[in-house]
Amino acid sequence: MNVRVNGAEHDLAEGATVADLLAALGLPAAGIAVAVDGEVCTRAWHDRTVLPADADVEILTAVQGG
């Protein structure tokens, strides 16, 4: 199935979760914020949130600076 991550298309297995997506992208679960179709998905729900086909996923990474 296809999902859009920050505007780019990605192919994932049916039934993939947010945690599966993060692993496929090589991203850690900590220090990021994830929204699926406009709804925030907290880290506690990453392994329980199944991505629907054609989902719009936004991933933001925390950066430190001044």
Closest by alpha carbon to 2, among 66, 53, 57, 61? 53
pTM confidence score? 0.91
Q: Which residue stretches of the chain are H helix?
A: 18-25
**For the chain, domain boundaries:** 2-61
The domain 2-61 having CATH identifier 3.10.20.30: the answer here is: yes
* Model pLDDT for residues 11-62, shown as the tens digit of each residue: 999 999 999 999 999 998 889 999 999 999 999 999 999 999 999 999 998 8
Closest by alpha carbon to 19, among 44, 56, 53? 44
